[in-house]
Chains A and B, each alone.
Chain A
Amino acid sequence: MTTSRPPTTVATPAPARRDFQVLAELRCASKTYGKGGTAVAAVRDLDLAVRPGEVLAVLGPNGAGKSTAISLLTGLTAPTGGEALLFGQHPRSITARQRIGVMLQSSGVPETLRVRELLTAFRGYYADPLPVETVIAAAGLAGLENRLFGALSGGQQRRVLFGLALCGNPDLLFFDEPTTGLDPEIRRTLWATLRELAGSGRGVVLTTHYLEEADVLADRVVVLDNGRIIADGTTSAIKSLAQGRRITARTCVPVAEAAQWPEVRSATREGPWLTLLVGTPEPVLGALLSRDSRVSGLTVTETSLEEAFLILTDRTECAA
């Protein structure tokens, strides 16, 4: 658990290093859009490795560079610095791409093609595709095969896109915000499916801004903020890195004042309830009690991953 990881390559040039140990990799990869003074760095110096059997969640707020990281790994975008590797090859290599499946956001899928036609086309791109009936069963598309894509509901369309990602029987799957806009029940079934894919030895990379999703699903979480990796580890390690506590109390202390106290990383108010995310809780409790003797309903709890994440992103802003 470190905030800046070294590259994940084996230190010695070991002949034993086989390509399935690392499925995909970014080495100090950067992507800058535009030139000169108007240049914007989408991601900077990313080091990232995906291994078989692991669900890796790339977590971050909108604009943190999550989609760019996926674009670099899949060869949709070329890095402006550093290197991206897919099965040890250039990500645009067609042989490397034979082994991946990708689910992106759903814009622009031809609405006048039938579900079976879409699956047939994608299966045709792969040397060794899954049987179409397997894909239909796995993605829950039974009964929809002959429907036009445009005639499907939003959730059904997402299932088609999921099916397209499975077509090639891939070793590594990428999901860009797979559960955005899905209802909670479908979201949970999709989580189970992703776990199952990882359980069969495949690598799974997903981006999300749902912390709950990363918490439940991922073996490893990479937190991106402003195009940089600010944390990389298991979900519990991320939580302990933040090592904060949440203090909730019914009090009249203004948010702005509480935010000035030492150890306080964020202060919010909901009605009479003041919530403070803090590092070490004791000094804050002292300040709170001496400032307002009529405090009631005081609780101190561990931070959730979501709060840990807030603390982490806040920390980088302070450092910048």
Chain B
Amino acid sequence: MTIRATIPPTATRRSARPSTFRLYRTESRQEFLKLIRVPIFAATTVALPLMFYVIFGITFAGQQAGGVGVTTYLLATYGAFGVIGAALFGFGISVAVERGQGWMKLKRVSPMPPLAYFVAKVVASVTVAAVIVALMFVLGATIGGVRMPPTQWVALGLTLLAGALPFSAMGLAFGYLVGPNSAPAVLNLAWLPMAFASGLWIPISQLPDFVQSIAGYLPPYHFVQLALGTIGASQGGSPAMHLAVLLAFTTGFLSVAAWGYRRDEGRTYG
């Protein structure tokens, strides 16, 4: 350290507040950079859904699913798969993993508004989700040969992005329930079979009956049915019902996360 009388005396006026907009923008940008600069995150979260879409799109090319072309159908299901992955691992788990670390303590004693941290994380994971959805739409429109009216593209895209919210809450709940160290592994073990059973990989009508019967209890199933609904390929249940189920799950996950947050307020930060 080579400090040489370079630090001026402290300022006298302290009434001003920092620019809120700039603070939130910088914080969001940093959370996004943090995510995409980790190669394993970029590879698994962004590349995996795109790769699956191409592989399964080619495998089932020319077939129909839910009354639409299979490449159109899979755009909704793999889009949902990508968004959920970004939300679970980009937001939920990362908040839960960071919560006890020295870096979070440093942020907590800084004048950063606590809300900025959560908003920035949501913005960052929704941005990652948007990148996934946009790239998948490009793949669909080109090699997938998907043709839809513009309103359907927009409706599908927005529905997919909105899905980031319930699954951010789910990741958070897992992080607080299982503990920061084992949460990523446990969540992967829960999430991948759940994705399969919810019909995110293979159209649900092609799954065994008993798998179809448990799908209704899994939150990704309801999310993907909403997404499929925007392109006229929903396979049962009204949008209002799916929305209500997702809302109930979100409330439940947030309650678990809030309970976990309060539980370790008193002990993690020794």
Contact = CB atoms under 8 A, between A and B. Distances in A.
B18 A125 contact: yes
Interface stretch (B105-113, B170-178, B182-190): B105-113
Interface in A31-78: 33-34, 42, 67-68, 71, 74-77
Contacts of A110: 30, 34, 103
A244 interface: no
Nearest to A100: B109
B33 A137 contact: no
A120 interface: yes
A134 B7 contact: yes
Interface in B197-253: none
Given A113-B30, A196-B5, A200-B7, A97 B105 contact: no
Contact of B109 (A34, A95, A102, A107): A102
Interface of B: 1-11, 13-19, 22-23, 26-27, 30, 33-34, 37-38, 98, 101-106, 108-113, 266-267, 269-270
A42 B270 CA distance: 9
Given A76-B109, A137-B4, A193-B1, 20 more contacts: A33-B266, A33-B267, A34-B266, A77-B270, A98-B14, A100-B109, A102-B106, A104-B105, A108-B103, A113-B30, A120-B26, A121-B26, A125-B112, A127-B15, A127-B18, A128-B14, A169-B8, A189-B1, A197-B7, A200-B9
B96 to A, nearest CB: 13
Nearest to A190: B1
Nearest to A74: B109
A128 B111 contact: no
Interface centre among A99, A108, A192, A197 (most CB of B within 10 A): A108
Interface string A106-143: 11111011000100111011111110001001111000
Contacts of A287: none
Contacts, number: 141
A189 B14 contact: no
Interface stretch (A158-166, A234-242, A278-286, A292-300): A158-166
Given A124-B18, A128-B14, A76 B108 contact: yes
A201 interface: yes
Nearest to A136: B6
Nearest to A110: B34
B230 to A, nearest CB: 35
A169 B13 CA distance: 12
Interface residues of A, number: 63
A11 B17 CA distance: 34
Which 9 A-B pairs rank lowest in CB-CB distance, beginning with the nearest?
Answer: A108-B101, A112-B37, A107-B102, A108-B103, A97-B111, A127-B16, A74-B109, A140-B1, A193-B3
A107 B4 CA distance: 29
Contacts of B270: 33, 42, 67-68, 71, 77
21 contacts: A99-B14, A108-B102, A110-B30, A112-B38, A113-B30, A113-B33, A124-B23, A125-B112, A127-B14, A129-B18, A134-B6, A140-B1, A140-B2, A164-B106, A168-B110, A169-B7, A189-B2, A193-B3, A200-B9, A201-B10, A202-B10
Contacts of A113: 30, 33-34, 37
Contacts of B266: 33-34
Contacts of A102: 106, 109-110
Contacts of A128: 11, 13-14, 16
Interface in A182-240: 186, 189-190, 192-193, 196-197, 200-202
B187 to A, nearest CB: 19
Nearest to A131: B8
A106 B103 CA distance: 7
Nearest to B22: A124
Contacts of B22: 124
Contacts of A316: none
A162 B1 contact: yes
Given A121-B30, A166-B7, A104 B269 contact: no
Contacts of B1: 138-140, 159, 162, 186, 189-190, 193
A255 interface: no
Interface string A306-319: 00000000000000
A105 interface: yes
Nearest to A141: B1
A125 B110 contact: yes
A63 to B, nearest CB: 10
Contacts of A189: 1-2
A98 B111 contact: yes
Interface in A146-180: 148, 159, 161-162, 164, 166, 168-171, 174
Contacts of A190: 1
Contacts of B19: 124
Contacts of B101: 107-108
A169 B11 contact: yes
A289 interface: no
A252 interface: no
A168 B10 CA distance: 9
A1 interface: no
B98 A108 contact: yes
